[in-house]
Amino acid sequence: MKHFILSSLIFFTIQLPTIISSFLVVPLLLLTKWDGTTTIYGNYKYGRGTTHYKAPTNNVYWREVLFLCLRNPVSNFGKTFLSVKTAPWVWLHDTKILGNFYWKYGWKDEVKETPNIRTFVYRPWFHK
């Protein structure tokens, strides 16, 4: 329970305000030649998100806004400022709430894009 409370505090005091600010910043960044991989609002792996969605040429701007603000908000923020080095104290919980509804919180396991770095996660999800 204490890990959930600490993760909730991190989310509500640090990550959520940054996500909210992304709704102002990202649409402006997307009007420039920004590649989407830099800044705390970007995504190292998918950039502006067009390679993730394989979007047709129409509505690309709005698909990029949706990807960077809703689908994968402040991805680089979680990979930099909220990340931690792999250590014994680092936690990751994937708690079943009800039926197929789960809540994942803590720091994700390492991935090849960020070796020895665990990025912060705090999200509900449905298991199929």
pLDDT for position 104 = 92
Confidence of residue 35 (pLDDT cuts 50, 70, 90): very high
Q: Which residues pair with 95 in a beta bridge?
A: 103
Numbers of helices and strands, H then E, in the chain: 5, 5
Q: Which long-range contacts (CB under 8 A, 24 or more apart) does 105-114 make?
A: 105/3, 105/4, 105/7, 105/8, 105/11, 106/3, 106/7, 107/83, 110/86, 113/44, 113/45, 114/79, 114/83
Rounded to two decimals, what is the model's pTM? 0.80
Here the tokens at position 51 are: 């390679």
Asked whether the beta carbons of 114 and 45 are under 8 A apart, the reply is: no
Q: Between 27 and 123, whose confidence is greater? A: 27
Question: How far is CA 96 from its chain centroid?
Answer: 21
Max mean pLDDT among 22-31, 39-48, 102-111 falls in 22-31
pLDDT for position 26 = 96
Max mean pLDDT among 19-28, 37-46, 89-98, 110-119 falls in 19-28
Q: Name the amino acid, one letter, at 6.
A: L
- The ranges assigned to domains in the chain are 1-128
